[in-house]
Amino acid sequence: MSEAKTIADFTATLPNGEVVSLADKLGKVILVVNTASKCGFTPQYDGLEALWNKYRDRGFEVIAFPCNQFGGQEPGSADEIAEFCKVNFGLSFPLMGKIEVNGPGAPPLYDWLKNAAPGLMGFNSIKWNFTKFLIDRQGHVVKRYAPVDKPAGLEKDIEKLL
């Protein structure tokens, strides 16, 4: 099998278990982020929602993947996560089904993201919640951001791609 080159080569699973193709994301600028509801970085949901609202009409999307691999900070079910995010942060961007981002349980999408944009000192693994990947309109990974990078700090990079 040839190595995937763009986000269009992958699928994601919705909270209800439905598998969807990411091919329809080509032509959009995408920010993929692994999230958690009980993390010190959880307030970044506000910033992610602000980015989504500011740029979505220009072809920008946020795709969030809840993950419980770091400190057990996303223990809830898909419904509980969605309710928490809606009530506490008014989220309107897509939340996918809960995943693992490291190890053998990680979906191929995350293996591709990590290899396309390695982290600090070339390490591929995701170190914590709210690691972000920016993808251009052609479906290529442009940049990886650390959990401490606040969403508002990504605006210049997003605007360049829009």
Strand order, beta sheet including 132-135: 60-66, 29-35, 132-135, 141-145
Confirm if 33 and 132 have CB atoms less than 8 A apart. yes
Q: Is 39 a catalytic residue?
A: yes
Catalytic, out of 7, 33, 36, 39: 39
Q: How far is CA 61 from CA 54, 68, 72, 116, 144, in A?
A: 10, 23, 27, 19, 16
Instruction: List the catalytic residues.
Output: 39
